[in-house]
Amino acid sequence: MSGPGFGDVEDVPEEWKVVSTVRHFSARVITGVTDAVVMPDGEVVDRDYVVHPGSVAVVALDDQERVLLLRQYRHPARRLLWELPAGLRDVEGEPLHLGAARELAEETGHRAGTWHTLVDTFVSPGMSDERTRIFLARDVSPIPAGELDFVRRHEEADMPVVWVPLAEAVRRALGGMIHNSQAVTGILAAYAASADGFASLRPADAPEA
The mean pLDDT of the chain is: 94
| Mean pLDDT value across residues 95-119 | 96
Pairing verdict, β 131-142 and 55-60: parallel
Higher pLDDT, 155 or 169: 169
Domain definitions of the chain by residue range: 17-51, 55-203
**In this predicted structure, what is the pLDDT of residue 146?**
79
Give dist(CA 51, CA 45) in Å, integer. Answer: 18
pLDDT of 98 higher than 90: yes
Catalytic residues, by residue number, are 156
184: helix, coil or strand? helix
Rg (CA), the chain: 19
Report the percentage of the chain scoring pLDDT > 70.
Answer: 95
What is the end-to-end Cα distance of the chain in Å, rounded? 30
**In this predicted structure, what is the pLDDT of residue 1?**
56
Report the percentage of the chain scoring pLDDT > 90.
Answer: 88
Residue 135: partners with Cβ closer than 8 Å, 6 or more residues away = 56, 57, 58, 59, 96, 97, 100, 115, 116, 117, 118, 204
Is the CATH number 2.40.110.10 carried by domain 55-203? no
41-95 confidence digits (pLDDT tens): 999 999 999 999 999 999 999 999 999 999 999 999 999 999 999 999 999 999 9
Residue 37: partners with Cβ closer than 8 Å, 6 or more residues away = 16, 17, 18, 19, 44, 45, 46, 47
4-49 confidence digits (pLDDT tens): 888 899 999 999 999 999 999 999 999 999 999 999 999 999 999 9
Model pTM?
0.91
Place 147 in a pLDDT band, splitting at 50, 70 and 90: confident
